[in-house]
Amino acid sequence: MRWLACFLFVACALSPSHVVAQADSSLRSGGDARNKLIGTAVNTTVLRTDPGYRDFLAREFSSVTPENVMKWQVVEPQRGKPDYTAADQLVQFAQANNQAVRGHTLVWHKQLPAWLAAGGFSSSDLADLLHAHIGDEVSHFAGEIYAWDVVNEPFNDDGSWRNSIWYQAMGSDYVAMALQWAHEADPSAKLYLNDYSTEGIGAKSDAMYALAADLLARGVPLDGVGFQAHLGLQYGFPDSLTANLQRFADLGLDVAITEADVRMPLPADSDKLARQADYFGRLLASCLAVDRCVSFTVWGFDDSHSWVPGVFQGQGAATLLDQAFERKPAYDALRDALAASPNARQSDPADGVINHTK
């Protein structure tokens, strides 16, 4: 059964090892008041082992995205033997805490199973494998995932098509095929395209806009576009973000900030943290300014478990909490942005989220 979700504030005490000063209101309750899902990517290994991590996650967020455990590499390490154990555990946690689940991701050029990445498949083989993968995974979670990042990162930075295994096999039509297959497996799920460096108006976001418009004109099932928003202090803020989100919304699509973090050259200092807070606040303010921006998701919430230092040498401190699990100015910037915006959306961003209490 579908419902208009009203996510409740969950008052959870943090473990002594993770002492966080209690806020007057959580990000979750602020998002509820604005009818915006406030989400985070989840490290399921930490979720299983750290009570403080679990408590903060339950209290502060109304939406969760699996960081890795719904990616093909994890769900089908052996060909023909899908294993959704870790992903199921996250879904169960979300259901227990009345949280929406965003599925991430069905089609990507990275984190493929070793047996698939090894190659040796014909184009028709790859199309069949992708069809089977999408159908199996989406069907497994049918009725439990409110939105899927169906196709992730299809474009190069200059707006040209990424020459991925899928593009090589099927050309650009692989996007439409993937969306159609996902829709057939769960007609109730919202289906998204998702990419990075598309926040501002430019070559890459223009390519995404043209793709989205074309898919809609062809009747391909597409509900929204996700903007990852992996930002860095050494780069300027994408000042055209609000206008960019609005032009996609004007196509009749939902839009979402899906993977927000703001990295900085280390070490962090008060000036960098203040600028980071400004970036986070402006990201959320842009989402709040666009009626069809339905959710705002950070890519992890504490620096101890951020992906950034492992990928960007000498950079880090990209999230809302420091390595001691203390709130940074960025957390308060998000909370203040939610409190400062007076105009609530008229429709519910989680329309179609499953009633987990049934």
CA–CA distance, 260 with 293 (Å, rounded to integer): 14
CATH of 2-354, one of 3.40.50.300, 3.90.650.10, 3.40.50.2000, 3.20.20.80: 3.20.20.80
HSE-CB of 202 using CA atoms within 13 angstroms: 15
Catalytic residue among 153, 184, 199, 326: 153
Residues across the chain: 358
Indicate if 60 belongs to the active site: no
d(CA 358, CA 2): 10
For residues 60 and 39, the answer to whether their CB atoms sit within 8 Å is no
Q: Clarify whether 153 is annotated catalytic.
A: yes
Per-residue pLDDT of the chain (358 residues; tens, 9 = 90+): 333 333 332 333 333 233 343 344 899 999 999 999 999 999 999 999 999 999 999 999 999 999 999 999 999 999 999 999 999 999 999 999 999 999 999 999 999 999 999 999 999 999 999 999 999 999 999 999 999 999 999 999 999 999 999 999 999 999 999 999 999 999 999 999 999 999 999 999 999 999 999 999 999 999 999 999 999 999 999 999 999 999 999 999 999 999 999 999 999 999 999 999 999 999 999 999 999 999 999 999 999 999 999 999 999 999 999 999 999 999 999 999 999 855 544 344 444 343 332 2
